[in-house]
Homo-oligomer: A and B are copies of this chain.
Amino acid sequence: MALIVQKYGGTSVGSTERIQAVAEKVKRYHDEGNQVVVVVSAMSGETNRLVALAEEITARPSAREMDVLLSTGEQVTIALLSMALHALGKNARSYTGGQVHIRTDSSHSKARILDIDGERVKADLDAGRIVVVAGFQGTDEQGNITTLGRGGSDTTAVAMAAALDADECQIFTDVDGVYTTDPRVEPNARKLDRITFEEMLELASSGSKVLQIRSVEFAGKYNVPLRVLSSFEEGEGTLITLEEEDVEKAKIAGIAFSRDEAKLTIRGVPDHPGVAYQILGPIGEANIEVDMIVQNIGKDDTTDFTFTVHRNDLDEALDILHKTADELGAREVESDDRIVKIALVGVGMRSHAAIASNMFKALAKEQINIQMISTSEIKVSVIVDEKYLELGVRTLHEAFGLDRVEG
């Protein structure tokens, strides 16, 4: 008998028929002798409906009241799913985030889970009940309703699994697992049976949208085995676990990419200690996230400094950078939003320095010019012209043999 936490997203519970289908699925796991906790999102469309109501009232709704409003979405789903389980003869009970003491900080709309009291849930499980918990929400120390932000239901599920010391946390989505890369770009993309937390994190942060980053971090931190699988199809999905022993061969997990990149360059900055901070400080203060950063020594004791931001933030970053350039006496400011990022991810990379150079070689063979490079322990990212996205992904997918089954 295992204790399983399952999470079903908005599409999976998008209609009463689908909620009934989820109930059937949950019932099967429970019939097999497992204890099951189900975490659900709002029915798809519901959050948008609520946001539209708020927008009819005011252009700037308070974050606290927005959380009160949006948290009703999951509350509707937990009630309906519990009813559907009752209709199948199962004993089930629903709880809001507050009711099972999902305690968060007070950052409305992007709260972080501090603590979960699993006692009430455990008592229900021991009594043979299926427990249905509202994802995405909690309450702060004063009892105010908070939400974890979009996608936060994944985090609720993982945190609940950690609190209950669950055997597995299963995230049901509309894809059947984690792929070596996006199958819409590379038809030979292959579903992975297993992947490590670190690899999953790097894939997610490089644009692969299967799971919310924070939930993967959480799962890694508390070592909760995490499985991604399809709500609509049968299958084992992809299991995300701690590093496996068998990583000696240069194993690449997959290729992530992001189209939402823009690049800014400030040229001819008089070089002195602290110049990086002077350039990036004002960007950070404007809450603009900077991804890749490259600094080159230019001619005449000046330096060239390039960094990437999300494409939506380009205009604002550019305004700020122009001001900084004036203050620093820089020569010029350039920008380019027709770039993409491609990243090779794999824990095997650590012990195989050759991977980066093989990557560059494969791209060079196809005449793909690399504009920026950034490396981490288990990832190599490159910035290239956006017209090379598909070619670059397919070239690397083949060069590293990702279409072949793992050894």
Question: Once the chains bind, are A84 and B64 in contact (CB under 8 Å)?
Answer: no
Per a CB cutoff under 8 Å, which of B62, B80, B93, B143 touches A69?
B80
Q: When chains A and B are docked, how far (Å) is the Cα of A64 from the Cα of B124?
A: 15
Report A76-101 residues with CB < 8 Å from chain B CB.
Answer: 76, 78-80, 82-84, 86-87, 93-94, 96, 98-99
Closest B residue to A100 using CB positions: B143
Q: Please name all residues of chain B whose beta carbon is closer than 8 Å to the beta carbon of A83 when the two chains form the complex.
A: 54, 57-58, 61-62, 65-66
Chain B residues within an 8 Å CB radius of A16: 53, 56-57
Which residues on B sit within 8 Å (CB–CB) of A241?
Answer: none
User: Does the CB pair A72–B76 fall under 8 Å?
Assistant: yes
Residues of B within 8 A of A19 (CB): 57
- The answer to whether A80 touches B99 (Cβ under 8 A) is no
| Least CB separation from A66: chain B residue | B79
Partner of A57, one of B65, B71, B84: B84
Which residues does chain B contribute within 8 Å of A143, judged by CB atoms? 99
Using known A-B contacts A16-B56, A56-B16, A57-B16, determine if residue A78 contacts B68 with beta carbons closer than 8 Å. yes
A368 interfacial by beta-carbon distance below 8 Å: no
Cβ-based interface call for A75 (8 A)? yes
**Copies of this chain per assembly:** 2
- 0/1 interface trace, chain A 96-120, chain B, CB 8 Å (1 if under): 1011000000000000000000000
Q: Mark A374-397, 1 if CB is under 8 A from B, else 0.
A: 000000000000000000000000
A20 CB within 8 Å of chain B: yes
A204: CB under 8 A from chain B?
A: no
A86 with B58, Cβ < 8 A, contacts A66-B79, A99-B143 known? yes
Contact of A79 among B56, B69, B86, B87 (CB under 8 A): B69
Contact of A76 among B50, B58, B84 (CB under 8 A): B50
Rank and list the top 6 A-B pairs by shortest CB-CB distance, nearest first: A69-B79, A72-B72, A16-B56, A68-B79, A58-B87, A65-B79
A-B pairs with beta carbons under 8 Å apart, 21 shown: A16-B53, A53-B80, A57-B80, A57-B83, A57-B84, A57-B87, A58-B84, A58-B86, A61-B83, A62-B82, A62-B86, A64-B93, A65-B79, A65-B82, A65-B83, A65-B94, A68-B75, A68-B78, A72-B72, A99-B143, A99-B144
Residues of A within 8 A of B (CB): 16, 19-20, 50, 53-54, 56-58, 60-62, 64-66, 68-69, 71-72, 75-76, 78-80, 82-84, 86-87, 93-94, 96, 98-99, 143-145
Given contacts A65-B86, A98-B98, 11 further A-B contacts (CB under 8 A): A50-B76, A53-B76, A53-B80, A54-B79, A57-B84, A61-B86, A62-B82, A65-B83, A69-B76, A69-B79, A71-B75
